[in-house]
Amino acid sequence: MSVSSHVNELRRKHQMLSDAVERAQKSPGSNDLEIAQMKRQKLRLKEQIERLAH
């Protein structure tokens, strides 16, 4: 897998997590711990993307 395709895959995963966080935050019965875990995972993905893109 080339670096650019790997970065694109990481960006896709980041966007999916972002959408999931947004849905969970709008849901009245959402679990704050799960939301926090998703946000941490999003941050890790963002850091990987930045590291590989530069």
pLDDT in tens, 11-52: 999 999 999 999 999 998 889 999 999 999 999 999 999 999
pLDDT at residue 31, as a whole number: 92
Q: Residue 29 has what pLDDT?
A: 87
Q: What is the pTM of this model?
A: 0.87
pLDDT exceeding 90 applies to what percent of the chain? 89
Nearest to 19 by CA among 37, 36, 3, 42: 42
